[in-house]
Structure 1
Amino acid sequence: MDSGTAFDRFVRSMAVDFEKWHDGTGYDLAALAEAGPGERARIESLLLARGVRDWRDVEALAALNSPGARQALVKALQHGNAEIQAAVLRCAPDVASREERIAALVSALGSAEVFGGLTQALLEVEEFHPPEIVDALFRGVLERDGAVAGEFAAMLLYLHGHADSAYDLAQRPFLLRFQEEERVSLFVELCGRVGVDAGRYLGGE
């Protein structure tokens, strides 16, 4: 069993080596939960001084849920990269207005990479997909690289009731075509499957 105070254990957990990075191990939230008021204040000061660098910081600040921590999360949502924004939406969704949530997800769908916040954003999209988000998915099918376009197409099939999940293996043969075939014709085929007018997105093409 780990020795030392809850503060000591939490601080040690902030040293992220390759194994922790690879396995997606966060900070010691159990130690944070055990910390007394004085230790929690010290942990908060440490996190605020460090700044929000990745999802682990977001997770810990959300667990603290103090006024200072929440203010830091709001700033992270407004100014962080796609990975950090997605982490805020996952760990502390109540700090974001509906408009901020939409803006962060649309931004992630437009530019985030698979290991840089896109996967987390798509998990949010499964549960939250107003028209602005759906439009961003359609645009991404046209504009993003083949693998990402395929993921967006999978999500659109699911959201429109044409797949059992966003990861429906029955759709895989169609989705793999996005990595090889001409995009516009595939986009038109996708729109036909989900009952959407492709012309809304193709413009003069």
Structure 2
Amino acid sequence: MNSHIPKTPSGQPNKLPQTGQPSSATPLERFKKSMVLDFDKWHDGIGYDLDAIRSASPTEREAIEQMLISHSPRDWRDIEALAELNTERARQAIKEAISDPNPDVRVAVTRYAPDLVTDRERTRSIVDGLQNAELFGGLSQVLDDVAEYHPQEVKEALITGLLNRKGDVAVLFAAMLFYIFGKADEPFDMAQRPFFLCFNTEDRAEREAVFRELCEKLGINAEKYLRDL
């Protein structure tokens, strides 16, 4: 499990849902059941039953494919399941989802099917998530992606976010920057947590002071960003 952020509903790795179905339930029945979300599934980030897809017959897979393609509104679970199906229609649906109005869906595309989008689309999706996603609204998935993929535009979004995002988000951005710049071995280095927590302030002077300190540690030109405020 990634340690850089407490897991959120849209940031959890997929867990096998407890379907409560009798052993005689077909894979299609199991999958339908898993698409019904309750509070626990939402809170714990439990995705659809991917094992049901793997054990489904060709006819059942077609039915599952149609359910996923027609499901609206989508969330990250639909993209994960479509990627598991990996059919021509499923891949096309995933490609189209990169323009979905829900940032959770766009981030899921770059996470579960990065080969289906261009680097430019992936970068744009991540930057948008860094600018707008909330702690319990997709930010965990965005940061999971950032840990593996961080071109300059992504680094810039993290740096500006230190000044523009809320304090609890800025804490996570600071930790990620330390990881990206080689000053930490993991996306949230607990040994340096006291420093990261200094970003959890809405006092402008305090935020700018700790920003300057971070920039000095990482070799970033702080004035470049402060003069644009």
Pick from 65, 80, 84: which aligns with 1:63? 84
Residue 174 (str. 1) matches residue 195 (str. 2): yes
**Which of these residues, 207, 218, 227, is aligned with residue 183 of structure 1?**
207
Cα deviation per residue 1:11-57 (whole Å; 9 max; x = unaligned)? 11111122222222211111111112111111111111113521111
User: Relative to 1, partners in 2 of residues 1:81 and 1:204: Cα closer, same or farther, differing over 3 Å?
Assistant: closer
| Separation in 2, partners of 1:50, 1:30 | 19
Q: Which amino acid aligns with 2:120?
A: E
Within the candidate set 186, 197, 213, 1:165 is matched to 186
After TM superposition, give the deviation of residue 60 of structure 1 in Å.
Answer: 0.8
Indicate the residue corresponding to 1:15 in structure 2: 36
1:204 deviates by 5.7
CA distance in 2, matches of 1:52, 1:127: 28
Q: Decide which structure has greater helix share.
A: 1
CA–CA distance in 1 between the matches of 2:119 and 2:132?
20
8 Å Cα contact 2:75/2:102 also seen in 1: no
1:196 is the counterpart of 2:216: no
Give the aligned partner of residue 31 of structure 1: 52
Matched, 1:3 2:24: yes
Instruction: Please identify runs of 4+ aligned residues in structure 1 that moved more than 3 A.
Output: none
- Whole-angstrom distance in 2 between the partners of 1:164 and 1:43: 41
Give the structure-1-normalised TM-score: 0.94
**Contact 2:162–2:211 (8 Å) recurs in 1:** yes
Contact 1:82 1:118 in 2 (8 A): no
Matches within 5 A, 1:118-137: 118-137=139-158
Cα separation, 1, equivalents of 2:50 and 2:182: 38
Given the superposition, is the C-alpha separation of residues 204 and 68 from structure 1 closer, same or farther in structure 2, using an over 3 Å criterion? Answer: closer
Quote the Cα distance in structure 2 between the aligned partners of 1:66 and 1:74: 12
Amino acid at match of 2:157: A
Tell me the alpha carbon deviations over residues 119-163 of structure 1, each in whole angstroms, 9 at most, x when there is no partner: 111111111111110001001001001111111011111111112
Q: Structure 1: state its 5+ residue gaps.
A: none
Deviation at 1:164, TM superposition (A): 2.3
Question: Structure 2 residue aligned with 1:54, among 68, 72, 75?
Answer: 75
Bigger relative CO (Cα 8 Å, ≥ 6 apart):
2
- Mark the runs of 5 or more structure 2 residues left unpaired by the alignment: 1-21
1:52 and 1:44, CA in 2 relative to 1: closer, same or farther beyond 3 A? farther
Q: TM-score, normalised by structure 2?
A: 0.85
**CA distances 1:87-124 after superposition (whole Å, capped 9, x unpaired):** 11121111110000000000000010012111111111
**Could you say which residue in structure 2 is the equivalent of 1:99?**
120
2:144 alignment partner, SS class = helix
Partner-residue secondary structure (3-state), 1:85: helix
* Residue identity matched to 1:196: I
Work out the CA distance in 1 between the residues paired with 2:163 and 2:64: 45
Give the Cα separation in 1 of the matches to 2:154 and 2:124: 9
Select which of 64, 67, 77 maps to 2:98.
Answer: 77
Q: What letter corresponds to residue 55 of structure 2 in structure 1?
A: E
Question: CA–CA distance in 2 between the matches of 1:25 and 1:127?
Answer: 23
